[in-house]
Structure 1
Amino acid sequence: MENLAMTLGPDNGFMRVKNPTQRSLLRILDFALRHRVAAAPLVEQLAFEHQGAESTTLRQVAYMLASDVSTISALEQTRGAVDETTLLALRLAEETGTLAETYELCLREDSDARFRVDDPTYSPSSQLLQRALGILTACFVLTFLAMFIIPTFAKMFEEFGLSLPGFTLLMIVLFDRFGFLLLLFTLAIIAWLVVFALWLRDWQWQPWKPAYPKRPTSVRLRALLALVVGSGRPVAAAMETLTKFQTSSAIRNRLVAARQSMRNGEDPWLAMANQNLLRRQEAESLRLAPDDSTQRWLLQQAAVSGAHRYESVCGILLQSVSFLLLLILASVVGATSIGFFMVLCELISALT
């Protein structure tokens, strides 16, 4: 780890791979690189330890490695072998000769614990799903009450020759007229849960598997730039790799424009700032930095700051939406409870 710190420096856990299957694959590739042995048989053996799509992915990687395809190309051509950020980091490392050190960064255990979004339990997507499931349960209960329980009470009062309390009668009228909206809202939540779960899993239906949250594209870009600067490679030279293998079309177009500006003689950092890839203040600081280590530190701090901003914004939005939905549900449930309580009181007084 000391050699790693001297070569690339700490990355605050941004390069750490969290998926267990991907970590196992990278660990085998790292072992094969360091001991100069063939990786294909080892990956094939790893495939036997998995089932389903994971086994298929590993077998495809093993097949391509056995066909004399380079390690990074095999990972690139196999969908789901590694995530986009890891693939870009490994591609850059292959070009700069720091592949072993980058493997070590991807496999490190001491990720930055300051970011709660790294934990699937505390990620905004997981918390939002928990809120949605709670709302779904409440909607099911209210729909059941509106469709079965309230009509039963109405018939009971009619048989006893009693008149319903005014508030309860108002609730029945509202349920009769607008109850279908509650049913539509419930169906909309179910549809949203399905779509959101598919989106988290890259549109592959595997709800039994955990979803590992991704950092924002801007944060990942800064972390990759810090990796480039730490390896000693000029940023302008690495822009071609970042552009070629960037999956986000919006970021790729900005990188293309920034690279064209660099070719026209513009400072690399200012060119990226002009394309909104970096903040203007960040670009000025990077341009005036005295050496590569200072630039790497600035980029890492910018990534940390961006991750904190993302976590704060997600937290505020999550709490605001949760509070609003909780307030609406509390009002509906409270009104329904009062209506039923008044019905029970009326029945008890009539029987006594």
Structure 2
Amino acid sequence: MQAHFPTFARVKHALRRLSPVLTTPWWPADRIASKQRSLLRILRVAATERLEAAPLVASLAAEHRFRFRRRLRLLARRLAAGTPLADALEQTPGVVSDEQQLAIRLGDQSGTLPAVLTNLLEREDTTAKQVDMRVRQLGFYATITMTIFVLVLSFIMIKIMPSFQAIFDDFSLDLSDPTIWMIRVSNWAVNYWYLIAIVVAGFLWLIRSERARRFCRRNIWSRLLPPIAQLRSADLLNLLSVSVRSGRPLAGSLSTLARYHYDTLMRHKLLFVRNEIEQGADIWESMATAHLLTPPESRALNDSTSPQSRAWSMSQLARLRRDRVGGRIEIVVMLLQTLVILIMAGAVLMVGLACLTPLIDLVSGLA
């Protein structure tokens, strides 16, 4: 057939090469968290069935597009070259989250990788999803509202205010204070527009740059925002519960977490706990001293009678802590949304006063 129809054979070969491109949707319908969970499912199958992970990851890469496809292909090449799974994930940032990467590192070194992957997939972190959704809604609302406000204000300052100034000059009248204030602010924005552009560009870079977000996640947020530290303590309890349920010694798990934890503040606390344990101190009291547990939580875990009950208690404490922190963050986000609405309402009120008071003064002056 190739001898009689060479063009058809070439077209068929090209279509075979383009099949992943033609069958994969162009619109990125899945969020990054969903893509990462799909990779976790593949890794769990490979760990449970003792299969090579590289071909499975390469096949998964054909189902995605753009940046995540490149990351998966890079991960598949590193796995095919013999790089350990935890090291390959660490060398490929963004293919899994920091929490998932740390859990896989712990499972790989403690021999509980299938259990850790199962725990990651079964745990539905609704708190993080709700907070992320509310923050995105707030950012979308603020962005759209600010854009419309700036466009309307620009039209007013370009078309309406010069006419007001000319009319008031003709009748020898003075502009009102809100109008003068708005003109001064607009003139400052025109004269120093590059400063505003630098601030906006820096803010967008912080939002879009993965390196900047990773730096903030690992070095800043847990120090500035106590709820973030509480959520990471809950993740720590969840990881340790897997080790306890599998019968692994907690000292080894804590040593691994103290060495590889992505958060510098948590790493310092875990190093303190590890050193205290090496000196013969009780593990739960040491974690309470490092503010990884509250005193009641420490006593409850210390009084557990079996590894299974202790692991269950740790999972429940982690869930309760996440729910409690999620409720607090929800309240904070609602307050921020109210604050944004009030700020925008105040700005609209000031613009309205700046536009209406000249008309009132003009009518009063001509009456």
TM class by smaller structure: 0.7 to 0.9
Contact kept in structure 1, 2:112 and 2:243, CA below 8 Å: no
| Partner SS state of residue 50, structure 1 | coil
Report if the CA contact (8 A) 2:142-2:340 is conserved.
no
Give the secondary-structure state (helix, strand or coil) at the position aligned to 1:122: helix
The alignment status of 1:111 with 2:118, answered yes or no, reads no
Q: Name the structure 2 match of 1:81.
A: 95
1:180-202 Cα deviation digits (max 9, x unpaired)? 56677965873464144136x44
- Partners of 1:121 and 1:249 lie apart in 2 by 23
1:252, 1:112 → 2: CA distance?
23
My pick for the range that moved more, 22-31 or 133-142, is: 133-142
3-state SS of 2:339 partner? helix
- Cα distance, 1:58 vs. partner? 1.6
Cα distance change of structure 1 residues 323 and 50 upon mapping to structure 2, 3 Å threshold: closer
Distance in 2 between the 1:47 and 1:281 partners? 46
Q: Is the 8 A contact 1:30 1:100 kept in 2?
A: yes
Q: Give the distance between the partners of 2:347 and 2:90, measured in 1 at CA.
A: 52
Structure 1 residues 316, 39: closer, same or farther in 2, change over 3 A?
closer
- Counterparts in 2 of 1:232 and 1:181: CA distance versus 1, 3 Å: farther
Of 12, 21, 37, the residue aligned with 2:35 is 21
Shift of 1:93: 2.5
Partner-residue secondary structure (3-state), 1:216: helix
Gaps of 5+ in 1: 1-16, 206-213
Q: Is the contact made by 2:206 and 2:213 (CA closer than 8 Å) also made in structure 1? A: no
Residue among 137, 140, 161 paired with 1:150: 161
Asked whether the equivalents of residues 182 and 351 of structure 2 are also in contact (C-alpha less than 8 Å), the reply is no
Rounded to whole Å, the distance in 2 between the matches of 1:156 and 1:35 is 83
Do structure 1's residue 340 and structure 2's residue 340 form an aligned pair?
Answer: no
Residue range with higher mean Cα deviation, 41-50 or 237-246: 41-50
| Whole-Å separation in 1 of the counterparts to 2:292 and 2:350 | 51
Q: Whole-Å Cα distance in 2 between the matches of residues 193 and 279 of structure 1?
A: 37
Pick 1 or 2: higher relative contact order, CA cutoff 8 A, min separation 6. 1
Check the 8 A contact 1:76/1:87 in 2, yes or no.
yes
Which stretch of structure 1 is more off in the superposition, 173-182 or 270-279?
Answer: 173-182
Q: Is the 8 A contact 2:157 2:186 kept in 1?
A: yes
Identify the structure with the greater helix proportion.
2
More deviation in 139-148 or 284-293?
Answer: 139-148
Which residue type is aligned with residue 300 of structure 2? S
The alignment's TM-score, normalised by the length of structure 2, stands at: 0.73
TM-score relative to the length of structure 1: 0.75
> What is the Cα deviation at residue 34 of structure 1?
3.5
3-state DSSP of counterpart to 1:244: helix
Cα distance in 1 for residues equivalent to 2:315 and 2:118? 18
Could you say what secondary structure the match of 1:233 adopts? coil
C-alpha spacing 1:41/1:171, structure 2 compared with 1 (3 Å): same
Match of 2:212 in 1: 203
Taking only aligned residues, the RMSD between alpha carbons, in angstroms, comes to 3.5
- Change in CA separation of 1:107 and 1:312 when aligned onto 2, cut-off 3 Å: closer
Matches of 2:97 and 2:237, distance apart in 1:
16
> Structure 1: how far apart are the matches of 2:314 and 2:163?
66
Aligned partner of residue 51 in structure 2, secondary structure: coil
Kindly provide the amino acid, as one letter, of the partner of residue 197 in structure 1: I
8 A contact 2:131–2:326 mirrored in 1:
no
> 1:54-84 CA deviation, whole Å, 9 max, x = no partner?
2332222222222233333322332223222
Q: Mapping of 1:127-166 within 5 angstroms?
A: 127-134=137-144, 136-137=146-147, 138-158=149-169, 161=171, 163=173
CA distance, structure 1, for counterparts of residue 330 and residue 49 of structure 2: 45
Selected match of 1:298 from 290, 313, 328:
313
Q: Closer, same or farther in 2 for the Cα pair 1:146/1:221, shift >3 Å?
A: farther
8 Å Cα contact 1:26-1:103 kept in structure 2:
yes
Which residue of 1 is the match for residue 133 of structure 2? 122
**Given that residues 96 and 231 in structure 1 are in contact (C-alpha distance below 8 angstroms), is that contact kept between their aligned partners in structure 2?**
no
Q: 1:287 to 1:121 in 2, by over 3 A?
A: closer
User: What does the per-residue CA deviation read over 1:149-185, in whole Å, with 9 as the maximum and x for residues that have no partner?
Assistant: 32222224545x4846xxx622221123344566779
Letter in 2 for 1:78: T
How many Å separate the matches in 1 of 2:44 and 2:180?
68
Give the 3 Å change call, closer, same or farther, for CA 105–180 of structure 1 in structure 2: farther
Distance 1:146 1:298, change over 3 A: farther
What 5-or-longer segments of structure 2 have no aligned partner? 1-30, 215-227
On the 8 A contact 1:28/1:42 being kept in 2, the answer is: yes
Say whether the 8 Å CA contact 1:140–1:186 is kept in structure 2.
no
Match of 2:240 among 225, 244, 247: 225
